[in-house]
Amino acid sequence: MKIEELYRKVIMEYSRNPQNFGLVLDDTYKKVHLHNPSCGDDVTMQVKLDKDIIIDIKHEGSGCSICCASASYCTIALMNKSISEAEKIFNEFYKLVKGEDVDTTILTSDALAFKGVSSFPARVRCASISWKALQEAIMEASNEKN
Ligand code: ZN
């Protein structure tokens, strides 16, 4: 199997079987909604912190398969991470989708499936919109605690 096919399979798998999908009605979660007008992606990320640890992440929305897969994957990549670990993961993922070299000890191998979007500037936003929303939600949640 060619590597591109493998990556496409990873993305299809995540978008068909979204992880941590569905929001909860709970005020202890912080929620951020973002919309990508160029593609129509619409994402809401919800996060719950315990001190500086991300103890739960939920998402909901609709969009292209890259957007849905990325939203699903980021809930897994960041679950149970500390805020400082999360910052590193965010930065590496943004580098990845821009086609820059990344530290593969920080990102899991599934993340590499999104590397291909770097050849399509319009899709970079699709892959990163859920990450931006989640990052914002984490920031809001941690500001509120301090
Ligand atoms: Zn999209």
Give 28 Cα–ligand 1 centroid separation in angstroms. 29
**pTM for the full model?**
0.94
Kindly compute the dihedral angle of the four CA atoms of residues 99, 53, 74, 31, in this order, to the nearest 10 degrees: -110
Q: What is the pLDDT of residues 12-21, one digit of tens each?
A: 999 999 999 9
Query: Token digits for 31?
Result: 């929620």
Instruction: Spell out the per-residue pLDDT of the chain, length 146, in tens.
Output: 677 888 899 999 999 999 999 999 999 999 999 999 999 999 999 999 999 999 999 999 999 999 999 999 999 999 999 999 999 999 999 999 999 999 999 998 899 999 999 998 889 999 999 999 999 999 999 998 66
Query: Token digits for 91?
Result: 């930065």
Residue 127, Cα to own-chain centre: how many angstroms? 8
Q: Using a pLDDT cut of 90, give the percent of the chain over it.
A: 88
Neighbours of ion ligand 1 (CB under 5 A): 39, 41, 63-64, 67, 126
Give 126 Cα–ligand 1 centroid separation in angstroms. 4
CB neighbour list of residue 51: distance below 8 Å, 6 or more residues apart: 145
Report pLDDT for 114.
95
Report pLDDT for 144.
83
Helical packing angle, 65-78 and 121-145, nearest 10°: 40
